[in-house]
């Protein structure tokens, strides 16, 4: 078993964490990203380091058009192997079985079917996965570590930019002139499915625009 305390104490910089992850797991390592800004920085760092790792993204078929466009632009720019992860039922089939707009009536069930279960299945072929989690994103993420144990999937979970701030990430994005989702410039700090994501006022919680009007703050992937 890995000594997570020792690893987290010795691996400080994102580049060192990424090198360690690739050396430790090789083809059994995957990046999971929804193409938020932290994920974009991670993908760019990996390209700069010459690391070639499968990139998984959960395509709920309910993403914003801007998100799909960004995926294509980043693939052209960073040249990674993108593997879309989809639910067993498409949106129409889900509506036929569970009723229209399940996301508005039972967002937890919708996220479970369209995000959590498909990703869990996709991760079966890997021993470790890289995420874009940061401590400053929300209270529920304030205590996460760069390298930890994912109990649900029984894999190592790696968050190389865990202690970066929103400002640091944007500084990197602009310094390398990287593509990002234009919805960020319209008041969307984080961007998920279009039915469950809204713009927020300046200074609001970074995840305040997700599942507005409910107590829900996470889709379930990182719980």
Angle made by CA atoms 206, 176, 203, in degrees to the nearest 5: 20
Q: Which pLDDT score is estimated for 221?
A: 81
Among candidate residues 110, 111, 193, 219, the one labeled active-site is 219
Using alpha carbons, list the distances in angstroms from residue 107 to 10, 62, 66, 77, 194: 39, 13, 22, 34, 13
132 belongs to a structural domain: yes
* Number of structural domains in the chain: 1
Domain membership flag for residue 103? yes
In a domain, 150, yes or no: yes
CATH at residue 82: 3.40.50.620
Flag whether 209 is in a domain: no
What's residue 97's pLDDT? 96
Q: What is the pTM of this model?
A: 0.92
Instruction: Respond yes or no: is residue 196 known to be catalytic.
Output: no
End-to-end CA distance of the chain: 22
Mean pLDDT computed over 179-206: 86
Asked if residue 66 is part of any domain, the answer here is yes
Residue 28: pLDDT over 90: yes
Domain range for 30: 4-185
């Amino acid at each position: 078993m890995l000594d997570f305390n020792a690893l987290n104490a010795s691996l400080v910089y994102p580049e060192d964490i990424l090198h360690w992850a690739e050396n430790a797991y090789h083809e059994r390592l995957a990046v999971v990203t929804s193409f938020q800004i932290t994920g974009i920085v991670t993908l760019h760092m990996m390209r700069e380091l010459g690391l070639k790792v499968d990139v998984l993204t959960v395509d709920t078929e309910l993403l914003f058009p801007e998100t799909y466009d960004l995926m294509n632009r980043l693939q052209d720019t960073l040249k990674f192997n993108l593997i879309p992860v989809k639910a067993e039922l498409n949106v129409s089939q889900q509506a036929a079985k569970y009723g229209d707009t399940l996301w508005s009536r039972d967002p937890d069930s919708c996220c479970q079917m369209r995000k959590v279960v498909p990703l869990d299945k996709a991760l079966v072929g890997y021993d470790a996965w890289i995420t874009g989690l940061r401590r400053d994103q929300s209270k529920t993420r304030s205590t996460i570590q760069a390298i930890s144990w994912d109990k649900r999937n029984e894999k190592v979970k790696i968050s190389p930019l865990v202690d970066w701030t929103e400002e640091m990430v944007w500084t990197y994005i602009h310094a390398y002139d990287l593509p990002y989702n234009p919805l960020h410039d319209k008041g969307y700090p984080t961007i998920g499915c279009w039915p469950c994501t809204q713009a927020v006022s300046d200074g609001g919680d970074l995840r305040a625009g997700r599942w507005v009007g409910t107590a829900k703050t996470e889709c379930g992937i990182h719980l």
